[in-house]
Amino acid sequence: MRVVVADDHALVRDGLRLLVQSAYRGCDVVEAASFGDILSALREQGTVDLIITDFTMEDMHASAGLRAVKRSAPLAPLIVISARDDMDAQRITYKSGAAAFIEKTRAHEKVLETIERVLAGERLFAPGISSTPQKRHTDDGATPLDELTPRQQQVLALLGRGLSNKEIAIEIGIEAGTVKVYVNAIFKALGVHNRTQAALVAKQAAGESTKPTP
């Protein structure tokens, strides 16, 4: 069995890896420290049997990151472990297509049982989670820009300057393929369809005029 284990804390990854390998002898565990690392691992490894990931990692908002992972590995059950225990986190996880949600405070006692059950085809969430509408962030003045991670906001600002993916990659020292992942996540979060629309949002956010110069 091949499993991807992802968390931005090495100690947590080590604990999950040892736990999984103790239960599944000969299990091949691939570690990742971000959503981007998971996507890279999926490209390199091909087929995987299970993905276990933290809910919150700095390179992507949880919703965009989890959906990207499921698109890349639609047949692999996805278990999400989170320090958050609120219903919004569970709804985001459920809507991403994940198989299960585990609170970190109970992870040590729930992980192996949850693995067995999701590999058997179950989806494990709080009762009623599939039918409860997701809360919209309209009552506190939040905007889609607030859903972007710091790195995504940095990429968006560079989009606003008209930089290409390759130029953005050079500017902030990451791979062009990773930039593409960020750009797609930005489009989804902002509800736009192309770089021009995203750049317009970036300029508006920066307080720049979007009117043509005479």
Confidence at residue 181, expressed as pLDDT on a 0 to 100 scale: 75
Confidence at residue 79, expressed as pLDDT on a 0 to 100 scale: 96
Confidence at residue 214, expressed as pLDDT on a 0 to 100 scale: 47
CATH level 2 (architecture), domain 2-119: 3-Layer(aba) Sandwich (3.40)
Q: Torsion angle, CA of 94/98/99/105, rounded to 10 degrees? A: -80
Sorted by where each begins, the domain ranges of the chain are: 2-119, 144-205
**Domain 144-205, CATH 1.10.10.10 — does that match?**
yes
Instruction: Write out residues in the chain with pLDDT < 50, as ranges.
Output: 131-141, 209-210, 212-214
2-119 and 144-205, same CATH topology? no
Confidence at residue 137, expressed as pLDDT on a 0 to 100 scale: 41
